């Protein structure tokens, strides 16, 4: 049975939240239906005022709690570019960002926002980098990470 991460989403009055996006997406693809992810539960409706931090007042007109199921699996994969290591970061900058100094640790930090951009499918840069790494023998394409797909677990 998968573990579960409980996430609370609040929406400020007049704004759009991730919950609005999920409900719009479930109309197009049943994969996004809340029941597939452990269920979404409405916690607040209407305008509410509350304090999460001392002295800071928040307003929300909707609050949903989602139980996001996940499973951790041990995997051994050869030929992986592990960006946790400074020597790999240096090589990464040298190959993919020739205009930056690979000896300067801030060079890798400068490109990190591009590598972790939340855009759907990732930025074009990561697709190109992934293709380059696979062409040169990286096997990380087999790595699975993320939420448990509907029906699993």
Confidence tier at 118 by pLDDT (50, 70, 90): low
Has residue 150 got a pLDDT over 50?
no
Phi/psi at 39 (nearest 5 deg)?
95, 140
pLDDT at 92: 87
Question: Mean pLDDT across the stretch 74-90?
Answer: 82
Tokens 């951790």 sit on residue? 72
The Cα 133–Cα 138 span in angstroms is: 5
Span 1-22, pLDDT tens digits: 567 778 888 888 888 877 787 7
pLDDT at 37: 64
Average pLDDT of the chain, as a whole number: 76
Tokens 């960006």 sit on residue? 83
- The string over 85-124, giving b where at least 16 C-beta atoms fall within 10 Å of a residue's C-beta and e elsewhere, is eeeebbebbeebbeeeebeeeebbeebeeeeeeeeeeeee
The Cα 51–Cα 62 span in angstroms is: 15
The Cα 108–Cα 101 span in angstroms is: 9
pLDDT at 151: 47
Question: Mean pLDDT across the stretch 26-54?
Answer: 75
Beta-carbon-side half-sphere exposure of residue 83 (alpha carbons within 13 Å): 12
- Ranges of each domain in the chain: 3-70, 86-142
Q: pTM for the full model?
A: 0.44
More confident site: 132 or 121:
132
């Amino acid at each position: 049975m998968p573990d579960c991460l409980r996430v609370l989403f609040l929406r400020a009055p007049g704004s759009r939240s991730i919950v609005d996006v999920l409900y719009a997406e479930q109309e197009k693809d049943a994969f996004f239906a809340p029941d597939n992810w452990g269920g979404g539960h409405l916690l607040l409706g209407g305008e509410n005022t509350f304090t999460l931090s001392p002295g800071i007042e928040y307003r929300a007109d909707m609050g949903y709690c989602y139980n996001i199921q996940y499973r951790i699996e041990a995997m051994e994969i050869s030929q992986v570019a592990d960006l946790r290591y400074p020597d790999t970061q240096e090589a990464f900058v040298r190959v993919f960002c020739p205009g930056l100094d690979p000896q300067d640790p801030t060079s890798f930090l400068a490109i990190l926002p591009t590598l972790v951009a939340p855009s759907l499918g990732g930025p074009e840069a990561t697709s190109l980098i992934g293709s380059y790494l696979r062409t040169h023998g990286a096997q990380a394409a087999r790595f699975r990470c993320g939420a448990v797909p509907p029906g699993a677990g």
